[in-house]
Every structure is written in structure tokens, then in C-alpha cells.
Amino acid sequence: MSERAELTTRLCRINQSIKPDDVVVAFGFDLCPDENSPVDGFVAVTSTHVYVYEDDRLAADFDQDKISEYIFTNGVGCVFAECVYDGEHMLLCRATMEHRDLISSVIWQLNRRRERGTYSYAYENEIDVTCPKCGIRYPSGSHVCPHCTAKTGYFKRIWEIARPYKFFIFLSIGLYFISAIVQLLPAYLNKLLIDNYIKVDGAYELSQTSEFIIGFIGVIVSLLGVNILTRAIGVVRGLTLIEAGTRMMVALRGMVFDKIQRLSVSKISKRTAGELMNRVTDDTNQLQNFITNDIGSALEQILIFLAVSVILFAYDWRLAFLILLPAPIVMIANRLFHTYMRRVFHRQWVMNSRANTILHDIFSGIRVVKAYGSEHREMERYDKATRDECNAQITAETFFAKFSPLMSFLMGIGEFFLLYYSGAKILSHEMTLGDMQLFTTYVSIIYGPLRWLSNFPRRYERTMTSVVKIFDIIDEDVDVDDKADAVELDIKGNIEFTDVSFGYDSGNNVLHNINLTVSPGDFVGIVGRSGVGKSTLINLVMRLYDVDDGSIKIDGVDIRDISQSSLRSQIGVVLQETFLFSGTVYENIAYAKPSATRDEVLAAAKLAGAHSFIMKMPDAYNTRVGERGHTLSGGERQRIAIARALLHDPRILILDEATASLDTETEKQIQDALQTLSKNRTTLAIAHRLSTLRNATKLIVLDKGTVAEVGTHDELMRRRGIYYGLVMAQRQMSRMSS
Amino acid sequence: MSELKTTALSDVVSITYITKENAEFRKEGDFLSLRVDLPVGNGLDGEPTGGEKYYERIYLHRSFPYEHPYEYISVLDRDSAEIGIIADVAEFDEETAKMLRHELDRKYFAPVITKILSVKERYGYSYWDVITDDGRRLSFTVRDTFRSIIKVTQEHIFLTDNDSNRYEIKDTEALDRKSFKRIELYL
């Protein structure tokens, strides 16, 4: 039963005059309104009232008619639902953060209901819920419980990924099996050699017979054969692993990378670039290694252990028992040892990365450090960090140095039992020297798998951590996705916003109820104070995010019905912050249109005013830029970005502070270029410097997330509103600075 | 040679302080309203500021939430524009100070952890089971544990869970030995 249905039943039981059909919505909360103690409460909205119950007692009752607005407020570690009742702000409830998404959606819908009379429950399916199995909430944006799905679910899915390479995987597992058996053979052959040929009674006489010689050489040849076989298996297995591993790695990376590319900007920007890189490279590597290496190795080790145990027990159960007696102790000690080692080495790792971060900071900001003369302070900071790291390392290494030999001793302790026992048996002629040799070899073999297997849980754990992180991304819901019947549209350039509302977080609307129309060929300037939602508005046109309410139509088609590639291929963007990829200047301009001819690229560069400075560089269009290339100034990068947009020849051109970092003269040049370019295409331009927008056919002034004024420069100046205020303030400023 | 006088930062920009002399906070409905009389001047965009004003609902925001919970409190209007700053809540009369503290305590919610029953690390998440100062037992999940811990000092830490709930440990040294052992790795 949903929370809403449950609370409705509860309400009707407490207040029997209310019928379930009267209830519009009900939602729970868990914090006392006035103090930081828990409460089991709920808010129920009926067609006429809003009731607040705390521990099933009516705490407040509001008349719907007197409520003029519902408000959702984010606290820190808690959220508030409020209403304006009879002109006064009243608190409906207070709740911990897990209620945030639900409460903010309810408040949103309640306001909508007040304005338009409709209430949609669609959010109930989108709100993150708790895992029905363990009750732990899903990580945001995902509907997979990392706690529960782990074992069966993930294995099934890993198998799905590995299935295309099953031939190679089974081949390598098979080879591990064979190698396990082959590894046990030399010990037996050695025993034969000693008992039957070297330490045999009357060896000299026997050695004269041809049978003896053939047998003797046969054993030696067999030993040689086993050796060659072991190497051959190693080679084939290595090749198989490379084949399976690399193929799977490519597929896995492709899968994760493809998914990341499909995620919307809002989902991607929740993670850092470094984190995403780890997902694509390290985590996939870990998983691939586990499938191709660890599973096979685990089977090999188990097989060796079982085979040796069976041989030992079959030969002499008392001896086998003696040898295996310390095994459980060794395994437990090994596990404890490694758990502790992990902690101390992890600590060392944290200290190391902290020191590295400081170093990275100092080197990246070396100009600031030097300019403020704070070298000494930074030196001390780094010094302290390295000293901490050094101490952590001493702790870790000291422990390792002390306990590692102890562990080796424990592992080898079985051999002493064996020596005593088998020595006594040889003296009493119950055992041969060959047997002793066989046992000694097997004893040294049997602890290998035990040690390996006692560390296996750790490898498994680490792999599962990577697996969970990989699937975390793969399972993330694609929020901005193409519809199955998305159309390819030939854009003419009409843009229409109808009642558009949008917020990056739940509850915090950046834009509300935006209505505006842009005709094809319009040059629209978007104006307003910083943080008012100008960039958000154009992000919505590019559909980097989907609107929360209302719709944006291009040429009468909702942009959610247009395929994203079709939409974006016809929009050109120049942002304030320009990103140049590693590559040549030419490649960076041609990025927008890889099929462009050299003439086109040159023309675009010329139009953007980039050609002249490009030609001043020795390598001209072949100059390498980006991460490790030639450093360009802000203005130069900007002109390359503009050339890129010009080459794209878009139907809709978006300029977000495109010329803000340029000097006045260059800006004028580019303005003229843009002026030429914007002819006959819809242009949306954001500019802080209002003079940049003097050619705009229409100006839109945003204030507090809504459209405050619309008109031409002259109209808005006459109106003497916000725009007028901004223009006057800028004029005053430029007079002051001139 | 005449002495050159440099312009101090405070000559150019001044912080608007809200004090008991220029402001009156009142509880209106369930929240605070503010009547304030500030010096008249011009904002950065040249817009007029100051004068006598009334705000039917104000919001409080801590400038230094960890170190100075009741000092440097920013007072904001409904559009999140700052009206001014309260240097120290204690400078107001007893009753107002109480109202302000209450409003702040209500907005910043972080249960105080006094005992840690278990911390289980699994597949990149850690699952916590703790007891808080009011004797409640809470369980929560933390993603990327190392990055979710804010250290105010070496001993005083805040923890943010999967849902952005916050938890405070006032003094890790004061925890019992077992509790401390469970989190030692993260400190």
C-alpha cells in the first residue's frame, strides 16, 4: 500500500467524518515542529481543510480558503512545509531529508491545484523509495539497492556481460584445471625417481638392465614433459586471458562510457570528472580482472587443495591430519593479519593522497603562492602532511615486518611435524625416502591455496565495490531521453515557452511560469542580474535539462518530441567559458562539422576574427592547443569557439556572455561578425554588458525567475523599469571609469 | 612629502549589521518578521538600499555553521537577498535572542551521535547503526564515507548520509573505546 493510501486510512480512522474520497493528498513527517525530537506525524489535505496530526493527535487545522500559498523550504539537514494562512506564514511540518523530494513535489502540486485546479500524482513513481527487502533507501537517481541486489542479481548481470566471451572464459578455466593437476605430477615423479631408481636396494646391479635404464630415462623425460606442458599451458592461458580480457574490457568501458554520455548534464555534474574516469577505467579493469583471472585462479587453488588433501589422506590419514592441524589457525590468523594490514595501509594511502592533494594545489596555484609570498606557509603545510604520511607508513611497515615472518613460520609449521613423523617412519622402515619427498612437496603446496583463498574474500569485496559502482551508473535513470517516436525536425527558428517552470533541486525553482515567443530570425537579448536564471533559460532550449512544468516548443513541436541529435545539430553555442579539446586549432574549429572543407574552416575563422592571430603562430592552423598544447589567451579561445559555432551554421544561435572576456575593439569586430551571422537565424544572447545587445530585436528582462519586461531597447527605456535601472547603472559606471 | 593615505576596505564597502538598536524581530505566525531601519545608501547595481522596512518573513543563515553557530548570522528576505548580518545573537535582549536561537536550531538539524553500535562497509557504501544523545537508535547509509565526513577540528566531526541528513559527533575522543575503534579508520 502506498504511503498516501495508508495515511488516508489512518486519517479516516481518527476523524470519521472524513471520507477517503475527500483526501487530495497525505504525507508523513518525522520531526517536531519546534524542537529537535522525533514525532510520527502526517499532513492531510482535503478539498476544504489541511490537517496536521502529530502522534495521531490533531495539532493544526487550516481552512483551505484562507491559504494563499504553499511554500517548501530547505533547512540544513531538514525541510519545512509551510503555508501562508490569512496573510501569516504558518509551519505545516518539518521533516528529515529523506522526505525532501516527496514534500517538495506535494507542495508544488498543491500550488498548482490552487492556481489551476489540477493535481497530478505522477511524482509518486519518480520519488526515490526504500528497498522493499531491507528498508534502506535507494541511492538517489537509482532504483537498485546496493545492499540487497549484490549477490544473485549482480552475478546474473555480470554473466550477461561476460556471456559473449564464454568460450575464452571457459577455456581459461579449463586450463587452470589442467594446470592444477599438472602441478601435482612432478612431486609424484620425483618420488618414483627416488624410490625406484636412486634409493632402491641393489641399485647398481639393476642399473645394468635395459628395463631399468628405460624406466629411469622415462621418468626423467616425463619430468621434462610435465615441465614443457606447464609452460605451454601458461602460454595458452596467457593468450586466452589477453584475448578475453581485452575484448571484455573494450565492451565494458564502452558500456559505461556510452551510458555516461547519455545521462543528462544534471546527473553528470553530480559527479566529478575524476570519479567518472575511475568508473570507466579502474572499476571496469577490476571487474574484467576478476572475471578473467580471479575466478579461474580460485578454482585452480580449490582444486589443488582438494587433490592434495585427498592424496595425503589416502596415503596416511594421521600424517595428513597432522599437516592440516594448523590450517584453521593459519587461515584465521591470515585473515586477521590482512584485515589489520588493510586498515593500516589504507590509512597510509589516505595520508599519501592528502599530501599529494596539497602538492597538486600548490603547483597549480604556484603563481598565487608566490604572489602572496606564502611559500614558507605552504612548505610547512606540505611538511606536516608528509610527516603524517611517514608516520602512517612506519606503523604499517613495522607491523608488516614483525608479523609477516610470523605468518610464514605458521604456514611452514606443518613441515616440522612432517619431518619428525616421516623421519621416525623411515627409520622404522614404514616409509620410503620418496614418500617423504612427496609429502614435503605437497605440504609446501597445500598452504599456498589456503593463503590465497583466505585473501579471496577481499578481492571479491573489492570487485563487488567496483561492480556496484559500475551498475550504479548503468542503472541510473536517463532523465532526458529521446522518445521512441522522436522526430527529426528541420528547424526554422520559432521558439515558444508556455508556463515553463524549472529548478535544479527539488523545491528551489529557478524559473517559474515563463511565457515567451521568439520568431524566426529574431535577435533576442536576455538581461537580468546574475543568478536570475538567464543561463538556465538557454540550457532548457538546448534541452540539457527537461522542464519541470509547462513546455518549450520549436516550430510548434515540443522539444521533448524532437530527437536530441536533430535538435542540437541545429543549435550553435558560444559560452563564456570555452573548452578547447586536445588537438590542433583546425580540429577544434572543425569539431562542429567534421565534414567541413578547408575553405569553410578558414572562412569561419576569418569571420570570427581568429584567422589573423592563428596566422601569427608558427604552426598556424596546425598549432596544438588544449591540455598540453599552446596556451591561448581568453579572447583567442573565445574567437576559436565563435568560429566553431559559425562553421556549424546553426538555425538557432546561442551566445552566453560570448564576448564578455574580450576587449572593446575585438568585441566590436566579433559583434559585427555575429551581426552578419545572425541574419535570418534566431539568436538568443545573454550579455552583462548591455551595449552588446543594442542590435537586439527584442529584449527579455528576467527578474526573480520570471519574465519581468519584454520589448525593444527604446520601449524598455521609456518604461523606466528594471532594464532602465540596469542601463543607467552601467552608464554611470562607464562614466566613472572613463 | 605629504603622507599618502590608502583607502581601506571598510571605506568602500561596509557590512550592514542588524542590531538591537536598528531592528525588531517578532514572531508572526510560526516564523520571524523583521522591522528594520538601516542607513540609506546605494547597492552595487546603484539601486537604493536601507531606510525603514518591514519583512513579514525572514530567513536566517549561518555564515560559519560549524564554528560560530550563533554569530555572523545572515538575515535574508524571501528572495534570498541579504538584509543584514547579526554579529552575535547574544547582543539582543533575552527574549529576542531566544527566538533567534530557536529559529536557527530549527533550521539546522543534526542529531548528535554518542555511541556507534556498528559501521559496516560494503561495496562502497557504509551502513551505520548509532545511538544519539536523546537515546534514539538510528541507522543510515553513507556513500563514499571519507568524503562525507567534515572535520571541524580533529575531534569534532559532521557526517552526511545518502539523503543529506547530517549527524554530529562532538568529540570523537570522548566516545567509548569500541565506538571510537569503529570510526578510527575514517578520521
| Residue for grid cell 577481499 | A458
Q: Is the model more confident about A381 or about A461?
A: A381
* Residues of chain B contacting A137 with CB distance shorter than 8 Å: 141, 162-163
What would the CATH number be for the domain defined by B113-184? 2.40.50
Architecture of domain A482-570+680-738: 3-Layer(aba) Sandwich (3.40)
Does residue B63 sit at the A interface (CB-CB below 8 Å)?
no
| CA A675/CA A656 separation, integer angstroms | 15
Burial of A537 (0-12, 13-18, 19+ CB in 10 A): buried
* Residues of chain A contacting B111 with CB distance shorter than 8 Å: 36
Query: Using the beta-carbon criterion (under 8 Å), do A146 and B125 form an inter-chain contact?
Result: yes
Helix (H, G, I), strand (E, B) or coil at B176: coil
Of A88, A136, A726, the CB nearest to B45: A726
Q: How high is the ipTM of this complex?
A: 0.90
Instruction: Report pLDDT digits (tens) over B49-89.
Output: 778 899 999 999 999 998 899 999 999 998 888 899 999 99
Query: Using the beta-carbon criterion (under 8 Å), do B165 and A77 form an inter-chain contact?
Result: yes
CATH T-level fold of A3-126: PH-domain like (2.30.29)
Of B105, B107, B123, the CB nearest to A465: B123
Nearest to A520 by CA among A698, A369, A672: A698
Residue A291 — pLDDT band, cuts 50, 70, 90? confident
Residue A30 has pLDDT above 60, yes or no: yes
Question: Are A62 and A44 in contact, with CB atoms under 8 Å apart?
Answer: no
Residue A270 has pLDDT above 80, yes or no: no
Of A97, A140, A726, the CB nearest to B165: A97
Write the single-letter amino acid at A735: R
CA of A382: how far to CAs of A376, A379, A385, B143, in Å? 10, 5, 5, 29
Write the single-letter amino acid at A140: S
B26 to chain A, closest Cα gap in Å: 12
Cell numbers at A473, concatenated: 551508473
Instruction: Report pLDDT digits (tens) over A383-413.
Output: 999 999 999 889 888 888 888 788 778 777 7
Residue of chain A whose Cα is closest to the Cα of B62: A76
Ramachandran area for residue A373 (φ above 0: left; ψ -120 to 50: alpha; else beta): left
Query: Using the beta-carbon criterion (under 8 Å), do B122 and A150 form an inter-chain contact?
Result: yes
Query: Using the beta-carbon criterion (under 8 Å), do B143 and A729 form an inter-chain contact?
Result: no
| CA B110/CA A76 separation, integer angstroms | 8
Question: Are A687 and A656 in contact, with CB atoms under 8 Å apart?
Answer: no
DSSP-assigned letter for residue A211: H
Write the single-letter amino acid at A110: L
Query: Using the beta-carbon criterion (under 8 Å), do A76 and B134 form an inter-chain contact?
Result: no
Of B28, B123, B127, the CB nearest to A468: B123
Does residue B165 sit at the A interface (CB-CB below 8 Å)?
yes
Query: Using the beta-carbon criterion (under 8 Å), do B162 and A90 form an inter-chain contact?
Result: no
Instruction: Report pLDDT digits (tens) over A201-211.
Output: 776 777 777 88
Instruction: Report pLDDT digits (tens) over A459-490.
Output: 787 788 788 788 878 887 777 778 888 888 88
- What average pLDDT does this structure show over A618-626? 85
- What average pLDDT does this structure show over A289-296? 81
What integer pLDDT is reported at residue A704 of this predicted model? 83
| CA A717/CA B114 separation, integer angstroms | 62
Nearest to A605 by CA among A544, A646, A567: A646
Residue A725 has pLDDT above 60, yes or no: yes
Residue B1 has pLDDT above 60, yes or no: no
Cell numbers at A205, concatenated: 646391479
* CB atoms closer than 10 angstroms to residue A287: 23
* CB atoms closer than 10 angstroms to residue B100: 20
Query: Using the beta-carbon criterion (under 8 Å), do A96 and B109 form an inter-chain contact?
Result: yes
Residue of chain B whose Cα is closest to the Cα of A721: B47
Cell numbers at A316, concatenated: 596416511
Question: Are A689 and A681 in contact, with CB atoms under 8 Å apart?
Answer: no
DSSP labels, A505-564: BTTB-SEEEEEEEE-TT-EEEEE-STTSSHHHHHHHHTTSS--SEEEEEETTEEGGGB-H
Query: Using the beta-carbon criterion (under 8 Å), do A31 and B108 form an inter-chain contact?
Result: no
Query: Using the beta-carbon criterion (under 8 Å), do B106 and A75 form an inter-chain contact?
Result: yes
- What average pLDDT does this structure show over A442-459? 78
Q: Is the model more confident about A124 or about A145?
A: A124
Cell numbers at A142, concatenated: 537509482
Domains of chain A by residue range: 3-126, 150-474, 482-570+680-738
Query: Using the beta-carbon criterion (under 8 Å), do A465 and B163 form an inter-chain contact?
Result: no
Q: In this predicted structure, which of A37-41, A265-269, A591-595, B166-170 has the lowest mean pLDDT?
A: A265-269
| Residue for grid cell 513513481 | A125
* Residues of chain A contacting B77 with CB distance shorter than 8 Å: none
* Residues of chain A contacting B31 with CB distance shorter than 8 Å: 82, 89, 91
Domains of chain B by residue range: 15-107, 113-184
DSSP-assigned letter for residue A657: S
Cell numbers at A167, concatenated: 568460450
DSSP-assigned letter for residue A688: S
Phi, psi of A133 (to 5 degrees): -80, -55
| CA A684/CA B130 separation, integer angstroms | 53
| CA A661/CA A642 separation, integer angstroms | 13
What would the CATH number be for the domain defined by A150-474? 1.20.1560.10
Instruction: Report pLDDT digits (tens) over A562-574.
Output: 988 888 888 888 8
Strand partners, B36: B23, B53
Query: Using the beta-carbon criterion (under 8 Å), do B185 and A76 form an inter-chain contact?
Result: no
Q: Is the model more confident about A128 or about A87?
A: A87
Does residue B29 sit at the A interface (CB-CB below 8 Å)?
yes
Strand partners, A382: none
* Residues of chain B contacting A345 with CB distance shorter than 8 Å: none
Residue A1 — pLDDT band, cuts 50, 70, 90? low
Residue B181 — pLDDT band, cuts 50, 70, 90? confident
pTM: 0.70
Of A139, A346, A464, the CB nearest to B162: A139
Cell numbers at A368, concatenated: 598565487
CA of A231: how far to CAs of A172, A218, A301, A532, in Å? 14, 20, 18, 70
Does residue B185 sit at the A interface (CB-CB below 8 Å)?
yes
* Residues of chain B contacting A34 with CB distance shorter than 8 Å: 102, 106
Helix (H, G, I), strand (E, B) or coil at A242: helix
Of B30, B31, B47, the CB nearest to A725: B47
Instruction: Report pLDDT digits (tens) over A640-664.
Output: 888 888 888 888 888 888 777 677 7
Query: Using the beta-carbon criterion (under 8 Å), do B45 and A729 form an inter-chain contact?
Result: yes
Query: Using the beta-carbon criterion (under 8 Å), do B164 and A97 form an inter-chain contact?
Result: yes
Instruction: Report pLDDT digits (tens) over A157-181.
Output: 888 888 888 888 888 888 888 888 8
B27 to chain A, closest Cα gap in Å: 10
Instruction: Report pLDDT digits (tens) over A518-559.
Output: 998 888 999 888 788 888 899 899 888 888 888 999 999 999
Question: Are A243 and A164 in contact, with CB atoms under 8 Å apart?
Answer: no
Residue B44 has pLDDT above 80, yes or no: no
* CB atoms closer than 10 angstroms to residue A655: 28
CA of A401: how far to CAs of A161, A395, A410, A569, in Å? 42, 10, 15, 62
Cell numbers at A482, concatenated: 529521446
